């Protein structure tokens, strides 16, 4: 990752006092590569590197940092400054029901995102109302109606022959009658930005006066995302952006480009087709993930939301006393499964993704079933004291669980590795762990 690459560039420099033009040049070459690899727009990269160069020149190398770390720190600071440092919420103010407009090109994910936002708003105690205002694509209204039924969220019965502006105005009245407080307006898209679409969106905006206008943009469009965002923002003065399909190959550079070009915050990201796959966007974390330092904070948040406090405390106590048994291991596996795949999680932790032993630690659904069977075939004593499980016990356990001795061996190896990993994480608390990994 970038940290390592920079470290090798700057290795010889430690203690040389000032950062010189030449060594900054070398370091920034690496930064530039990392940004381009993350699919940040080339013009944005150029400007960004220029800014950093200016800031770095003549800076004293802080004693506690290597010059590589110093550049990383400057880059990280600048990235964070550019992206903003905290999550920006939806703007929901004014008289009820509050209209929110979703705009964007066809296929960017507007309709899906309308459903996702309805879920999110309802979780927060609001009463959303879905308004289909795409009268051009034949199935567009039905698509949102279906989502509404699936989610049990009311949908305005839009007439496909009506004018979208009128639909929205009528929906305001109907939404209020339904007792709803937030209108999610799903507008039409086109394959490309065009005059007609923009003027229709302007007419809706001028009549409905939305509290927030969200551009829904597909992160996979990479470099194009910049031009799309710029057109929508120039015409509509959007309030923020939702980047969809961040679960794909997109490297997240679109977020940086869009923010840099429009000045508007990315508020949420879509991370899958399912309706609960919407996440608040944290620009500060984005910065470190672009730099390749691992998404430590996201990992920690995920871990914390799944493992409930009490259980975690209990687990920590057991770990401290080295009483983390195979039974606990089995329970832990189930917990970890809830967070996503173990491999994914491990890859989010810097350092761990490179750990050779942990690389082999892949746990799939079948594996989990096998693990349960093996642990269930052990005696209670074996589960608490795995060291007593010798060759003949392994044979018996394998037979009892319908697995092989190799399976049992692998489980025991994984168990000891996970135990080590959890011990490392819990040392000094998870937060301390994360902070320690940053340069």
The residues binding ligand GDP (CB under 6 A) are: 104, 106-112, 189, 244-245, 247-248, 270-273, 277
110 marked as binding residue = yes
Binds 222: which of ligand GDP, Mg ion, none (CB < 5-8 Å by kind): none
Tokens describing residue 57: 């020149």
In the bound state with Mg ion, the residue whose beta carbon lies nearer, of 167 and 348, is 167
Tokens describing residue 434: 């994360």
46 marked as binding residue = no
The torsion defined by the Cα of 279, 283, 289 and 293, in degrees rounded to 10, comes to -120
224 marked as binding residue = no
Closest distance of CB 301 from ligand GDP, Å: 19
The torsion defined by the Cα of 252, 258, 259 and 261, in degrees rounded to 10, comes to 140
244 marked as binding residue = yes
109 marked as binding residue = yes
Closest distance of CB 132 from ligand GDP, Å: 10
In the bound state with ligand GDP, the residue whose beta carbon lies nearer, of 123 and 366, is 123
**d(C-alpha 430, C-alpha 424), whole Å:** 9
Binds 108: which of Mg ion, ligand GDP, none (CB < 5-8 Å by kind): ligand GDP
What does each C-alpha distance from 108 to 124, 208, 217, 219 come to in angstroms? 25, 23, 5, 9
In the bound state with ligand GDP, the residue whose beta carbon lies nearer, of 104 and 210, is 104
In the bound state with Mg ion, the residue whose beta carbon lies nearer, of 111 and 244, is 111
148 marked as binding residue = no
3 marked as binding residue = no
Sheet holding 240-244, edge to edge: 128-133, 182-187, 98-103, 212-218, 240-244, 266-270, 278-280
What angle is formed at CA 344 by the lines to CA 339 and CA 349, rounded to 5 degrees? 100
In the bound state with ligand GDP, the residue whose beta carbon lies nearer, of 341 and 426, is 341
What angle is formed at CA 67 by the lines to CA 63 and CA 72, rounded to 5 degrees? 115
Could you write out the DSSP letters of every residue in 220-253? GGTTHHHHHHHHHHHHH--SEEEEE-TTSS--SH
Q: Does 158 bind Mg ion (CB under 5 A)?
A: no
Closest distance of CB 271 from ligand GDP, Å: 6
Q: Cite the DSSP H helix spans in 178-222.
A: 195-208
Nearest Cα to Cα of residue 422 among 254, 303, 341, 281: 303
**d(C-alpha 8, C-alpha 261), whole Å:** 33
Closest distance of CB 104 from ligand GDP, Å: 6
In the bound state with ligand GDP, the residue whose beta carbon lies nearer, of 99 and 270, is 270
245 marked as binding residue = yes
String marking each residue 86-115 x if it binds Mg ion according to CB under 5 A: ------------------------xx----
Closest distance of CB 112 from Mg ion, Å: 8
Q: Does 182 bind Mg ion (CB under 5 A)?
A: no
108 marked as binding residue = yes
Closest distance of CB 105 from ligand GDP, Å: 7
Beta-carbon contacts of 283 under 8 Å, excluding residues fewer than 6 positions away, are: 80, 83, 84, 85, 86, 87, 255, 259, 265, 266
Binds 67: which of Mg ion, ligand GDP, none (CB < 5-8 Å by kind): none
Residues numbered 118 to 157 that lie near Mg ion (CB under 5 A) are: 140
Closest distance of CB 107 from ligand GDP, Å: 5
In the bound state with ligand GDP, the residue whose beta carbon lies nearer, of 243 and 411, is 243
Tokens describing residue 290: 């672009």
Residue with tokens 């609960």: 276
Contacting positions for Mg ion (CB under 5 A): 110-111, 140
């Amino acid at each position: 990752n970038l940290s390592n690459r920079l470290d090798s560039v700057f290795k010889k420099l430690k203690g040389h006092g000032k950062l010189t033009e030449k060594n900054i040049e070398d370091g920034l070459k690496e930064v530039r590569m990392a940004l381009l690899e993350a699919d940040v727009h080339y013009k944005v990269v150029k400007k960004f590197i220029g800014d950093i160069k200016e800031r770095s020149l003549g800076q004293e190398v802080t004693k506690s940092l290597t010059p590589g770390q110093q550049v990383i720190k400057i880059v990280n600071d600048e990235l964070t400054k550019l992206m903003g440092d905290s999550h920006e919420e939806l703007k929901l103010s004014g008289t009820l029901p509050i209209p929110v407009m979703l705009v964007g090109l066809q296929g960017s994910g507007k309709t899906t995102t309308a459903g996702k936002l309805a879920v999110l708003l309802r979780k927060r105690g609001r009463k959303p109302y879905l308004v289909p205002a795409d009268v051009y694509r034949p199935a567009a209204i039905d698509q949102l109606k279906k989502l509404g039924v699936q989610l049990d969220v009311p949908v305005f019965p839009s007439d496909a022959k009506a004018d979208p502006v009128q639909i929205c105005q009528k929906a305001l009245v109907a939404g209020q009658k339904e007792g709803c407080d937030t209108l999610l307006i799903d507008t039409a898209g086109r394959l490309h930005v065009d005059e007609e679409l923009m003027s229709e969106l302007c007419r809706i905006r001028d009549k409905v006066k939305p509290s927030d206008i969200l551009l829904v943009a597909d992160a996979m469009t990479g470099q194009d995302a910049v031009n799309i965002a710029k057109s929508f923002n120039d015409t509509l003065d959007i309030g923020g952006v939702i980047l969809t399909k961040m679960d794909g190959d997109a490297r997240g550079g679109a977020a940086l480009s869009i923010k840099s070009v429009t000045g508007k915050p990315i508020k949420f990201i879509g991370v899958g087709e399912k309706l609960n796959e919407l996440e608040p966007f944290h620009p500060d974390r984005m910065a470190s993930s672009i730099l390749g330092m691992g998404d430590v904070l996201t990992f920690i948040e995920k871990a914390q939301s799944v493992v409930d406090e009490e259980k975690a405390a209990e687990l920590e106590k057991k770990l401290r006393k080295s009483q983390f048994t195979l039974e606990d291991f089995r329970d832990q596996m189930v917990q970890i499964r809830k967070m996503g795949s173990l491999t994914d999680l491990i890859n989010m932790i810097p350092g761990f993704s490179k750990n050779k032993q942990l690389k082999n630690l892949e746990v799939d659904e079948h594996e989990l079933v096998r693990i349960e069977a093996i642990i269930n075939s052990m005696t209670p004593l074996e589960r608490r004291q795995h060291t007593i499980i010798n060759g003949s016990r392994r044979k018996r356990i394998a037979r009892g669980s319908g697995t092989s001795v190799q399976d049992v061996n692998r489980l025991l190896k994984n168990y000891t590795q996970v135990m080590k990993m959890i011990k490392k994480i819990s040392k000094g608390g998870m937060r301390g762990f994360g902070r320690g990994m940053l340069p």
